[in-house]
Amino acid sequence: MTGYTPPTALTIAGSDSGGGAGIQADLRTFFACGVHGMTAITAVTVQNSVGVEGFSEIPTDVVTAQIRAVTGDIGVAAAKTGMLATAEIIQAVAATCRDVGIGRAGQTPLVVDPVAASMHGDALLRAEALEAIRAELLPQASLVTPNLDEVRLLTGQDVHSAMEQRDAAVALYALGPEWVLVKGGHMRDDEKCVDLLYDGSEFVELSGARYETNNTHGGGDTLASAITSALANGLAMPDAVRFGKRFIERSVAEAYPLGRGVGPVSPFWRLPPTNELSPP
C-alpha cells in the first residue's frame, strides 16, 4: 500500500507518563485502527500504574495553537477530547473547535470523553470546569461518552439500574450533544456490560461480556478513540459506536499486567502477532 494516506484523527487530551491512558492510549488505538493520529496536548501528568502523583497543564494558547496547526495544514476527519484539566482550557478548546469546524456545528465529528472522575470515582475537575463542560463543550459534541461517576458529576444523578441509565441519558442529551453513550461498566451487579446509546428519540442497548480483570487502565480513552477512528473512516455514529464497543471488549479481554498497580487494556489484538523483530 505504498503511498496510501490513512484517515486522520485528532486527540485533545493529557499525556500519561505510564503509557496506559490519555494521549498514549489514543495514539495506540488510532494506529491499531489504521488511522493517522495527531495531538493537542492539554496537560502532562506524572503517573504510573499505581496512581497520579501530579500534573501540569499546558498554556491555553499552546493548546489552541496545536489544534489550529494540524487542522489548517493536514486536516482532521474526526476528533476527540480527553482530560482538559481546567475551565479555561475547556472554554478555549470549545471555541477553537467551533472556529475550525470540529463538532456538531461543523463537518468534523467530535467525541467528548468527559474525563472528570478517576477510576475510583474521585472528582478530577473543579466545579467551574464541570460547568464549562456542560455549557461550552457538550453542545459541541457529536457524541459524549461518560462513565457512571462522570454522569453523577455532570447531572447529579446516580445510576444503579437500567431505568436510571436511561434517565441519565435523557439528562445528558438535554445538555446539547447530538448523541449520548452512557457506559455501564461500573454497574458491577450486572453479568453483562451494557452501554446505552441515545439520540434524543431512540435508546439502543449495546451488551458485551464482562471480564474479571483489574487491568482496565485507559479503557474509556480506548473506547472513545476506537469510535473516533471509526468516524474518521466514514462510519455513521451508531455503527461507529458498535465498532468501539467490540474494540474495547476485546481490548479488556487482552489486558495485561504492568507495574505494581492497574495494567492497561490492550489494542494489540488488532496487530499481527510477532515473536521477533527482523530488519526490513
pLDDT band at 147 (very low <50, low <70, confident <90, very high): very high
Rounded to whole angstroms, how far apart are CA atoms 209 and 220? 16
Predicted local confidence at residue 127, as pLDDT: 83
Please give the pLDDT value at position 277: 60
149-172 pLDDT tens trace: 899 999 999 999 999 999 999 999
pLDDT, residue 190, reads: 64
Per-residue pLDDT tens digits for 92-128: 999 999 999 999 878 999 999 998 865 544 556 778 9
* Helical (H) or strand (E) element with 80: strand 78-81
Neighbours of 161 (CB within 10 A): 12
Q: What integer is the mean pLDDT of 187-205?
A: 88
Go through the domains of the chain in sequence order and give each one's CATH number: 8-144+215-266 (3.40.1190.20)
Give the model's pLDDT for residue 254: 95
CA atoms within 13 A on the CB side of 255: 24
* pLDDT tens digits, 16-73: 999 999 999 999 999 999 999 999 999 998 989 988 888 899 999 999 999 999 999 9
| Rounded Cα–Cα distance for residues 25 and 180 (Å) | 22
Residue 188 has pLDDT above 70, yes or no: no
The four Cα atoms 38, 43, 48, 53 give a dihedral, to 10 degrees, of 180
Give Cα 10 distance to the centre of its chain. 11
Determine what percent of the chain is predicted with pLDDT higher than 70. 92
Mean pLDDT (the chain, rounded): 92
Does the structure show a pLDDT above 60 at 202? Answer: yes
pLDDT at residue 280, as a whole number: 61
**Confidence (pLDDT) at 186:** 65
pLDDT of residue 222: 97
CA-based R_g, the chain, Å = 18
What is this structure's pTM?
A: 0.94
- The residues, ordered by sequence, that sit 6+ positions from 112 with a Cβ below 8 Å of its Cβ are 80, 81, 133, 137, 138, 140, 141, 143, 144, 145, 177
pLDDT value for 274: 65
Of residues 85 and 35, which shows the higher confidence score? Answer: 35
Residue 259: pLDDT band (50, 70, 90) is very high
The pLDDT, as a whole number, for residue 273 is 72
What local confidence, expressed as pLDDT, does residue 64 receive? Answer: 98
State the pLDDT confidence band at 181, using cuts at 50, 70 and 90.
Answer: very high
191 and 235 Cβ atoms separated by less than 8 Å: no
